[in-house]
Structure 1
Amino acid sequence: MNRFENKWMRAVLPALLIHCSIGTVYCWSLFKGDIAAYMGQDVGDVEWAFSIAIFVLGMSAAFGGKFVERDIQKSSLLAAVFFVSGMAGTGFSIVQQSLVGVYISYGVIMGVGLGIGYLTPVKTLMLWFKEQKGLATGLAVLGFGLAKVIASPLIGKLLGARDSEGVLISPENIYIMFYILAGIYMVMMVIGHLLIQKPAGYTEAVVQGQKFNYIEVLKNRTFIGIWLMFYLNITCGLALISQEKGILVFIGFGAVGLVSSLTAIFNAGGRLMFSALGDQLKDRNAIYKLIFLLSITAILLPLLLDGNGALMTFLIIALLCIVNAGYGGGFSSLPPLLADRFGLHAISTVHGLALSAWAIAGLTGNQLATFVLDQTGSYNVLLFVIMALFGVAMLISIFVVKPGKVELSSEAMEQEKTLVTS
């Protein structure tokens, strides 16, 4: 059994199994129209299930951090139960043609599984990879980004053939798909639950006995700055990603599916690349400065060279790829940045609080893009707005999120010393 007691079997593999399962939430666009058609509902009404899921993800992470700190075995099992139950419940709700049931199953129940499951592997990975925390979290969050790439072909196969208008030839496949996926992800997440384990020598009692002051963290200038720049990065990313197809159609580029796959690869690759690069830098906040600078530059170039032709097409595709990479990199770089500022003693709790920014951005990102386009009808204006928000995030990163570890209370400092020595 000793050959299984290593960071790859006890941290990386379970993290990938859990995140590759819950990351399927980003496949929503592949079947939301089929759900609406089967239930006789407007796509806009069904769309709220996804928004609810992302909101509940962020909020369950915010309030579930201390539970994850206490026992990752229980949290990984709870994540599996909620996620799989929510997925199977979504299939049942579709059969019953209950829109409220879809909101509850896909949005609330699955959302809780998403939040707890997202948090569970992160601290364990950083404990196993003490000198490469960025690489560790990059590996975990990489699974969340890769989930869409891996699951999309399977979902297409399960949904089956379509007619000339894109309607499913076998409409019942939409709820059968949810039942099958629930079974597959139950196996994957249970295996992840059985494998995940913190390294020998880590004293669990340190976490169980600690007192965490939520107010102290929420009022902290550094935490507020990190929360805001994380929120702005997600909001800008979602605003652009949600309009990806429309922008490509507008410039006359027809291979939308090819670009969608390419941006998904950049999204996943950015999660690993940016966080791993952070391990080589003196201050991990420099990663966010790099993300914002690259994003601003990528947006500015097509705006300055406004026109048509092959160059403009290349610049737009490059823009979508770079923003997707920065969007993913912002997620994977967050836990090690928080660990550097606030220590490892309560990283799951602090990380969970920061993920509440994801909850709010999930409700505002898409809507921001829709509002700007409704008011102006111009993709150029939308790009200017997104660039301005990236600029604000850059200023926060430079002037608010200062280098150095945040001063902890005396009790927290003692717990941190105990954790390090153990």
Structure 2
Amino acid sequence: MLPGFLRRERIIARPGFNRWLIPPAALAVHLSIGQVYATSVYRSTLKEEFAASETAIGFIFSIAIVMLGLSSFAMGTWVDRNGPRAAMALSMVFWVSGFLVGALGIATAQLWLVYLGYGVLGGIGLGIGYISPVSTLIKWFPDRPGLATGMAIMGFGGGALVASPLSGRLLALYDGDFDPSSADSVASSGALVGLFLTLAAIYAVFMSFGALIVRVPADDWQPEGFDPSQAKKSDMIATASVTARNALRTPQFWLLWIVLFCNVTAGIGILEQASGLIQDSFSSVSPAGAAGFVGLLSIANMAGRFIWSTTSDKVGRKQIYMLYLGGGAVLYALFATVGSSSIVVFLVLAVFMLSFYGGGFATIPAYLRDLFGTLQVGAIHGRLLTAWSAAGVAGPLILNGILDLTGAVTIALFVMVGLLAVGFLANLMVKPVDSKWHESETDPALKGSNA
């Protein structure tokens, strides 16, 4: 049983509640868990501390992403049923515990504890935290679901922009010999323990803030001036809902699984090799310049999550994914063939490629809402995120395997073109969900599961 203050019925908004308070609640969680993309700041320190290989340290991140998918799949229905406050609080407990157990592993030189802490416990917190505000935002913004989910998931993409410089400054504070401007600089184990404990405290405060201010709308609430009967602009937008269990039985779910897998795998390919790609293509670029390029890609990733997802409210979800995947395939092919002709061409292509990668993440909840309705969209989203976990493992394996065999980045890029083409075809095949899968939102058996 949940404590009273966490229960869904305790956070139903009163009349007059300002719905624009919900995005900051979502951002408080997503900016916190977005730290998972900032681990490169202390990667060299972890390698030195544990005398471990790049692969062994990279496995920490891989475990976290796999657990993100598994926990979002397993807990999606629980999150929908119990509401965002309980989910955000539970996410905070796991995410913060991950840092605490990870700090213990560093202090005692036990790498398996870092795997257990940051990888397993932190990964569970990632999965629950990632999906916790999604269905709530969609219910607060039925008139602009792409905008709503874009605002929240933009925070996840931007988490590294906050955590990277913060982590560097904290390590320099705890260890005067550490140089945050150098990717090869190594901090002391004590400084890394201090960093993990400090981040645990900061994220506990921010995520608790999000959990405290979040609210769900009353069942009969609608935005002022919004007419649901006028909101259906195409056959791709459903007026009925599908349960999470039945969604798995539809071809639409699995086609979108392929779409997300292909988009994410291609994006990870660029992110994994970003600094090396620009230095290999342009010998005049310094390590500091390469780091700036990685930062630029992070900004493009974050901005794409908001800009393209918001655009999908106007042009439609299926159409925007044609741009992400079809346009993305063209960009990857150009990147492989003419990208090194000019640094301006290189940067423009890379920025648009990563903006499509981010946009694909942010738009998928609204796409699910269009196809399956709002009843259990959070749970359906959680199940779909297993595609992210699969891509988080497959992307580096494909890329590194090709590089090990051939040493040619161009070949790897054309493999990504092929993946995006597969995703494009899968998206073309998406049709409205057959009415046989539709449920009544007034079904007593489902009552209370639409938080």
Asked whether the two chains share a fold, i.e. TM above 0.5, the reply is: yes
CA contact (8 A) 2:137 2:149 kept: yes
Between 82-91 and 165-174, the greater mean CA deviation after superposition: 165-174
Q: Does 1:99 align with 2:115?
A: no
Q: Is the 8 A contact 1:340 1:405 kept in 2?
A: no
* In structure 1, distance between residues paired with 2:424 and 2:95: 35
The answer on 1:223 being equivalent to 2:274 is no
**Distance (whole Å) between structure 1 residues aligned to residue 443 and residue 358 of structure 2:** 32
Q: CA RMSD in A?
A: 2.5
Deviations for 1:10-45, whole angstroms, at most 9, x for unmatched residues?
Answer: x11110000000110111122122112122322321
Residue aligning to 1:394: 424
Give the whole-Å Cα distance in 2 for the aligned partners of 1:94 and 1:347.
39
1:3-42 maps to which residues of 2 (within 5 A)?
Answer: 5-9=17-21, 11-42=22-53
Per-residue CA shift, 1:333-378, capped at 9, x if unaligned? 0001001001100101111110110111111111111011111111
**1:108 aligns to what SS in structure 2?**
helix
Counterpart CA distance in 1 for 2:123 and 2:95 is 7
What SS does the corresponding residue of 2:103 show, helix, strand or coil? helix
Aligned to 2:296: 262
Q: What residue in structure 2 maps to residue 81 of structure 1?
A: 93
Post-superposition offset of 1:95: 0.5
Q: Quick check: 2:96–2:203 contact (8 Å CA) kept in 1?
A: yes
Match of 1:194 among 192, 200, 212: 212
**SS of residue in 2 equivalent to 1:369:** helix
Q: In 1, Cα distance between the equivalents of 2:94 and 2:253? A: 29
* Paired amino acid for 1:284: R
Quick one: distance in 2 between partners of 1:291 and 1:181? 34
Is the contact between residue 79 and residue 114 of structure 1 (CA under 8 Å) also seen in structure 2? Answer: yes
CA 408–415 in structure 1, closer or farther in 2 if over 3 Å, else same? farther
Please state if 1:162 is matched with 2:195: no
Q: Is the 8 A contact 1:239 1:367 kept in 2?
A: no
Q: Could you say which residue in structure 1 is the equivalent of 2:81?
A: 70
In structure 1, distance between residues paired with 2:407 and 2:186: 32
1:136 is aligned, of 129, 140, 148, to 148
Aligned residues of 2:42 and 2:186 also touching (Cα < 8 A): no
- Aligned partners of 2:205, 2:104: CA distance in 1, in Å? 20
1:200 CA displacement? 2.9
User: Is the 2:242–2:372 Cα contact (8 Å) retained in structure 1?
Assistant: no
Counterpart of 1:30 in structure 2: which amino acid?
V
Once residues 19 and 145 of structure 1 are traced to their aligned partners in structure 2, the CA distance between those partners, rounded to angstroms, is 8
Q: Deviations over 1:162-212 (max 9, x none)?
A: 379944354421111000000000000011111111013469xxxxxx994
Instruction: Give yes or no for contact 2:244–2:376 (8 Å, CA) kept in 1.
Output: no
Partner-residue secondary structure (3-state), 1:242 = helix
Mapped contact 1:342–1:408 kept (Cα < 8 A): no
Q: Give the aligned length.
A: 406
Residue 435 of structure 2: SS of its match in structure 1? coil
SS at match of 1:349: helix
1:3 is displaced (CA, Å) by 10
Corresponding residue of 1:151: 163
What's the TM-score once normalised by structure 2's chain length?
0.85
1: CA distance, partners of 2:162 / 2:380: 30
1:225 and 1:401 mapped to 2: Cα distance? 7
- Once the two structures are TM-superposed, the CA of residue 130 in structure 1 deviates from its matched residue by 1.0
User: Pick from 97, 118, 128: which aligns with 1:116?
Assistant: 128
Task: Name the structure 2 match of 1:363.
Answer: 393
